[in-house]
Amino acid sequence: MFLSILSFIVFISILVLVHELGHFIAARRAGIWVEEFGFGIPPRIFGIKRGGTIYSINLFPFGGFVRLHGEDDEGKIKKPMEAFINKSWGTRFLIVIAGVIMNVVLAILAFSVVYTVIGIPRPVETGEVRIIEIVPGSPAENFGLKVGDVVKKVGETQVFVSGNLSGEVNKYKGEEVLLTIVRDNTESEVLVVPNKETGVGEGALGVGITSTRIESHFPPLWQRPFYGVWYGLKEAFFWGSVIVLGLFQMIWHLFQGRVPTDIVGPTGLYAVTTEVSKQGIIAVVNWMGIISINLAVLNIMPFPALDGGRAAFLLLEKAFGKKVRPKIEGWFHMVGLVLLISLIAAITFREVRMISQLGLSGYISAITGGQGI
């Protein structure tokens, strides 16, 4: 238990520190005085001052911050030339989103490492046509075809590729035809009647099929990092799209009065990370990439106290040509921080209760829809 908690703290620390390091580096390069580089959410437990910056560890270890001179209170500016508020709009905007950029970079690097180690995926023709999806109410479902069936013949014609199957089935629209299939290593025949009329994007049989499989390809060692970065970039984009879609669905459900049940907080993240760690270091690196993209997407949301909230104020400034008073903006972010801490506390309470009732495996099954990790 101690080692798993320690490993989880290291896992979270990497994600947080990389994010805050983005703000820190961007601010320092812009000549801004970084008053504090904090890990965790205050109150402060420990702090040490180096080069004018306090490096602190705070009570709640899920988050972090970089406190910049002249960011929230222009009345307390001691060094005007090193104050955040006195820098150009573009400089301030870059500093605000630098943490998000760093999380995206970390995700790409994590996925790149995974692909470099496990190989680059590539499709390979198998010489057989396998059903991977069946449309509800389709002829395929009505006549007993199943996902995983391999179609060998349409009538007396052998099929080897997806297009070949579609072309042969279309010859029998509205008519009976025997399909020779292989299911569980046993060959049999199924009589079907393909639809005579089909809509746009609809097949006569109502199935999703493939004649390829994905295998791991290992290019020469010196080429793998380049392939890894490319596929890591695509993987980051994929997960980013999934997370954005999930957020919109969650917001839509809230408007419908439905409370989301699959939101993971600190306790849930610890539980899932512990389970993932059992699968090895590569699984953990891949999980870190997924969580890093999560943090990037969540942080860019226009909510007070998040990077997206600060960026939203800067966009308002750009639109109206007038800065929002730092003290007013600071109050908005303070309220947002209180709301975020309250939400984390509520989610944590729910997670602890679910784990006590369902056990760890039951909880993970519940938040992943029974699919596991």
Query: Is pLDDT above 90 for 156?
Result: no
C-alpha distances in Å from residue 334, one per residue of 78, 86, 330, 346: 23, 22, 6, 18
Q: Is the pLDDT of residue 367 over 70?
A: no
Give the DSSP letter string of 79-129.
-GGG-GGGS-HHHHHHHHHHHHHHHHHHHHHHHHHHHHHH-EEEEEEEEEE
Give the distance from CA 58 to its chain's centroid: 27
Encoded tokens for 152? 């060998």
- Here the tokens at position 162 are 């997806």
Using a cut of 0.75, tell me whether the model's pTM lies above it: no
* 295, 104 contact by CB (below 8 A): no
Cβ(330)–Cβ(339) under 8 Å? no
Mean pLDDT in residue range 127-143? 84
Question: pLDDT-derived band of residue 201, with 50, 70 and 90 as boundaries?
Answer: low
Which tokens belong to 360?
């760890």
- In one letter, which amino acid is 340? L
pLDDT category, 357, cuts 50, 70, 90? confident
Copy the structure tokens of residue 158.
């052998």
CA 21 to chain centre: 21
Q: Which among 253, 241, 178, 179 is positioned nearest to 209, based on CA atoms?
A: 179
Structural domains in the chain, CATH included, are 2-118+234-367 (no CATH), 122-217 (2.30.42.10)
Q: Greater confidence, 88 or 195?
A: 88
Confidence of residue 254 (pLDDT cuts 50, 70, 90): low
- Confidence category of residue 371, pLDDT binned at 50, 70, 90: very low
Separation CA 59–CA 285 (nearest Å): 26
Give CA–CA dist 198/67, Å, rounded. 61
What pLDDT score was predicted for residue 87? 92
